[in-house]
Structures are given as structure tokens and as C-alpha cells.
């Protein structure tokens, strides 16, 4: 019988995801590379349906609390026309009344 990560308790899976992202900082501006911690966490979450279910909520929460507004999943969802992502972000506490300075997008 094979035992995989999916058999671990959700709390332990979240801790493993945290270790994958330990000591990585979110981007400081719109032009910075996407957050390494988000990429690593997202990559782990996408490895299986079980891990996705266990880790996706934490990924949204991190994005909403650690990243600058210009890197928000809300902004991405609006720009991409992804209503499901927007609804999920609101479910995890996203504020839809956030404003972003125009110069954050200026080149």
C-alpha cells in the first residue's frame, strides 16, 4: 500500500507548503517578479486534487494578506474575466473596494 502526501492531515500539508515558501518575500512593486512563495505553494497545490483541496485556500489567504494590491488574485481575476476566481477570493476575505494607484501600472 502506497502512502502519499494526501494521506497527511491538512494542518501538516499547510506546514509543508510553508516550508516550501519559508523566508521568501512577496514582491514590492507591480514590476517585480511574481512571488516565489506563491509559485512554490501553487506548484505543490497543483500536484494532485487532494493537495489542491487542502492548500488552495491558504494560497488565496496568503495572496490577500501578503501581496501588494497590484499582485492581488482579485485584480488578476478581473483582468482575465475569471468570475470563479473572484468569487473564491471574496470567500477567503478579499475586499472589492480596494483602490490601486495608477502609477503602479505605468511603464
Is residue 63 in a domain?
A: yes
Instruction: Provide the domain limits for residue 68.
Output: 7-104
Is residue 2 in a domain?
A: no
Is residue 92 in a domain?
A: yes
Q: Is residue 51 classed exposed, middle or buried when 0-12, 13-18 and 19+ CB atoms within 10 A define those classes?
A: buried
Number of domains comprising the chain? 1
Is residue 61 in a domain?
A: yes
Which pTM was predicted? 0.70
Q: What is the pLDDT of residue 21?
A: 65
Q: What is the pLDDT of residue 30?
A: 45
Residue 83 pLDDT grade (very low, low, confident, very high; cuts 50, 70, 90): very high
Is residue 18 in a domain?
A: yes
Q: How far apart are CA 61 and CA 96, in angstroms?
A: 15
Average pLDDT over residues 37-55: 82
Is residue 20 in a domain?
A: yes
Amino acid at each position: 500500500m502506497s502512502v502519499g502526501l494526501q494521506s497527511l492531515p491538512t494542518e501538516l500539508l499547510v506546514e509543508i507548503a510553508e516550508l516550501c515558501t519559508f523566508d521568501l518575500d512577496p514582491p514590492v512593486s507591480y514590476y517585480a517578479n511574481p512571488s516565489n512563495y506563491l509559485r512554490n505553494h501553487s506548484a505543490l497545490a497543483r500536484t494532485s486534487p487532494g493537495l489542491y483541496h487542502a492548500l488552495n485556500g491558504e494560497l488565496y489567504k496568503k495572496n490577500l494578506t501578503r501581496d501588494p494590491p497590484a499582485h492581488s488574485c482579485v485584480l488578476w481575476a478581473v483582468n482575465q474575466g475569471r468570475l470563479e476566481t473572484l468569487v473564491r477570493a471574496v470567500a477567503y476575505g478579499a475586499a472589492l473596494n480596494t483602490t490601486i494607484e495608477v502609477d503602479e501600472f505605468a511603464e
